[in-house]
Structure 1
Amino acid sequence: MRPAFAVGLVFAGCCSNVIFLELLARKHPGCGNIVTFAQFLFIAVEGFLFEADLGRKHPAIPIRYYAIMVTMFFTVSVVNNYALNLHIAMPLHMIFRSGSLIANMILGIIILKKRYSVFKYASIALVSVGIFICTFMSAKQVTSQSSSSENDGFQAFAWWFLGIGALTFALLMSARMGIFQETLYKQFGKHAKEALFYNHALPLPGFIFLASDIYDHAVLFNNSELYQVPVVGVVVPIMWFYLLMNVITQYVCIRGVFILTTECASLTVTLVVTLRKFVFPVTITFQVLVCSFKSSTIFALYSGGTFYYK
């Protein structure tokens, strides 16, 4: 029952979250830092009050393991973002990140000595062929679009090849993080809420480096048009209302992901997270038809709007 409930949280939370994320990005495209900070702060405060009992509850899993998980996640995020500067097209970037199923299965066989059914091996083989074809065509596109100079063409291809290496490293690191979580839960028991709290509380000091950008967008949010919240009747700047709804739906989504990690194998969690990405375009398309949003804004949001999970 809990896995089904968790999957429901993931799809309901994430698909509604992307709508409010688009509303924020449509008005202020560079608001990613304040959105991410608000999400992390909300989850950390909620966990500090109700899970950590104001710091009085000792964690069941040693904090050093959570520090390792946070370091892995930070590394994956930085490498994935930096790969976009290395002649990596956005479609290839998205396809590579969706290839986490392959990496998870490979590392599961190597590290956990797992064995899977023939159908799973066949499915992963088909995904691998798709990624190979997309990568090969992307390489040809980089070569054809480069300058007529042979040196410039080789340099562009070299940067692209480095980008592929970066994406591959991030893919394997992400899969390793999932297996690391699975191993921890087997060793120390299932503690989804505790993991949710520490994985969002420990990175908070890092937002100090983004304080200036977060403050600038907070000022912009304050200057947005006023909006009367339904039922409650409180009048607030509309951007803060969108941010609040984004944070709440994000909490529902990520809570479902962390429950799922305690109930299912890492490969199953990766599958659900991957399927979630395919539902996003449907959600956004529906929103476009209803609200007549510009397609360029939608694509920018979808390609860059997966803030946190595998």
Structure 2
Amino acid sequence: MADKADGTHRRTAPNGKSATSSAANNDGMAKSNGFEAQVNGEQQNDKEEQWAMAKAVAQTTASEWLLILSLIFGGCCSNAYTLELATRQLPSAGTLITFAQFFVTTISCVPHFVTFTPLPTLKQRNVPLYRWIVQVAFYFSTSLLNNMAFAYDVPMPVHIVFRSGGLVINMILGYLVQKHTYTKLQVLSVLLVTVGVIASTLDSASAAAPTSPSEPEVSAATYLTGVLYLFSALVLTGFMGVWQEKTFKLYGNQNWRESLFYSHLLSLPMFAIRGKTLWADVLEANTTTKWWFGWGVPLIPAPTAKKGLSGLLQGLVRRQRPVPVRLFDLSRLTPHSVRQSIRLDPSGFWVPSFYPPLLLNVATQLLCINGVNRLTSKVSSLSVTLVLVVRKALSLFISVMIVSGSSGSLSLWLGAAAVLLGTIGYSISKPAASPAKTKTS
């Protein structure tokens, strides 16, 4: 019986070893299957996200698309056009323009983030305040630098093309800070953008030379200072993008309106640093050509171009030597027979010509911001980038062909085309493959 038992034991021992080996193999297969299931699950999630995005786009009605595209192409292009109209009259008014934009944008967002009962109080934030404070430092600096560059004879086409060169900074920061990898098409596209920016900048620098002895000469140092401002703003914009991307990744991209509100609200106290410059801009704006808005032709000439409010008041109480004026007579909109029967005395008001373009610029900026954010909530960032690239190309056309009244040089258009092609190439390129995941047992 003992021998029999031993024999049985000897026979079952190998089977026990085989069972242990089989269990180990099963465990390995389970882990392998678990990894494959994880990969398949991630692929399934990607497909679900793509389907959800396609479904969201399909649910967007034609009227919504018409509204979004009208806000972007109408609002953003008009914003660039009115900005150029204002800066052509007063190139040094960058601080005043920036303050007006920030103030009105803040006021427009107040109903969403302030409760007025029983006392005005800020609503609870979804994002910590320090995240917005850092973003404000970037945003305020870039806006101020971009607008200040107009005082250094940097034309609007260079502004448009230069801002389109942000891909270069984004790629460098993405590689150094975020450890991103890029494809050959992406690198080639960025090189195209770089060449386009340089070509357009150099072309405008040569065009800035005076065409007649009576025109003031623009020094190379002045122009390069303006370009340096634009470049600094471009770098800060890149860092702001990295910071904002991380903020939305941590707290969700549905907080874009909160970002808009706090980035403008927290910037307003910073204008105290440039209070003297801001007041000087207001005084200079008051000296621009006077426009008459009212019924009939005014009997009192426009006040003389004297700085400050006193000049305006003085012109209203006594006759002064007229300055260049422009009349907007509303009576011209009515039939002659109606004007003869009414016979109203002329009534209206004078306004410095700088303020109407400024008012339109602030209003169109609100439309532009609204359209871009609506588009961002509907489609992918790729589609947003493509739409904005086309918008920038249209703004460049308006600036060169309509505002400046010229056809533009070959170098400028080649540079703009390089920026456009480079931006589109970067947008349509597939992201570089991420490092393969390794199996762990």
- Please give the TM-score of this superposition, normalised by the length of structure 1: 0.65
Query: Which residue does the alignment assign to 1:305?
Result: none
Query: Which residue does the alignment assign to 1:108?
Result: 174
Query: Which residue does the alignment assign to 1:15?
Result: 77
Aligned-pair identity (%) = 33
Deviates more, 1:263-272 or 1:116-125: 263-272
Q: Match for 1:40: what amino acid?
A: F
Please tell me whether residue 277 in structure 1 is matched to residue 392 in structure 2: yes
Whole-angstrom distance in 2 between the partners of 1:183 and 1:44: 24
Query: Which residue does the alignment assign to 2:371?
Result: 256
Query: By how many angstroms is 1:17 displaced?
Result: 1.9
Q: 2:124 aligns with which of 53, 58, 69?
A: 58
Q: Deviations over 1:22-77 (max 9, x none)?
A: 44345444444333322211111111233334533122122211111121233445
**Superposed, which structure 2 residues align to 1:204-243 within 5 Å?**
204-208=268-272, 209=275, 210-217=277-284, 219-220=286-287, 224-226=291-293, 237=350, 239=353, 240-243=355-358
Whole-angstrom distance in 1 between the partners of 2:147 and 2:83: 19
Deviates more, 1:68-77 or 1:84-93: 84-93
Q: 2:265 aligns with which of 196, 201, 204?
A: 201
CA RMSD of aligned residues (A): 4.6
What count of residue pairs does the alignment treat as equivalent? 272
Whole-angstrom distance in 2 between the partners of 1:223 and 1:90: 25
Q: 1:34 aligns with which of 77, 96, 100?
A: 96
- Please give the TM-score of this superposition, normalised by the length of structure 2: 0.48
Whole-angstrom distance in 2 between the partners of 1:39 and 1:79: 14
Structure 1: stretches of 5+ with no match in the other structure: 146-155, 296-310
Query: By how many angstroms is 1:267 displaced?
Result: 7.6
Alignment check: 8 A CA contact 1:13 1:253 kept? yes
Between Structure 1 and Structure 2, the one with more helix by share is: 1
Query: Which residue does the alignment assign to 1:98?
Result: 164
Whole-angstrom distance in 2 between the partners of 1:130 and 1:196: 31
Whole-angstrom distance in 2 between the partners of 1:166 and 1:28: 18
Q: Secondary structure at the match of 2:121?
A: coil
Q: Match for 2:106: what amino acid?
A: A
Query: By how many angstroms is 1:272 displaced?
Result: 5.2
Whole-angstrom distance in 2 between the partners of 1:84 and 1:18: 13
Whole-angstrom distance in 2 between the partners of 1:265 and 1:60: 23
Whole-angstrom distance in 1 between the partners of 2:186 and 2:249: 23
Query: Which residue does the alignment assign to 1:176?
Result: 239
Q: Deviations over 1:234-290 (max 9, x none)?
A: 9665644443322111111123345566677778766655553322122235544xx
Whole-angstrom distance in 2 between the partners of 1:86 and 1:242: 20
Alignment check: 8 A CA contact 2:92 2:150 kept? no
Q: Match for 2:140: what amino acid?
A: F
Deviates more, 1:116-125 or 1:255-264: 255-264
Q: Which has the higher contact order (CA 8 A, sep 6+)?
A: 1
Query: Which residue does the alignment assign to 2:24?
Result: none
Closer, same or farther in 2 for the Cα pair 1:181/1:77, shift >3 Å?
same
Q: Match for 2:98: what amino acid?
A: T
Q: 1:47 aligns with which of 100, 103, 109?
A: 109
Closer, same or farther in 2 for the Cα pair 1:92/1:196, shift >3 Å?
closer
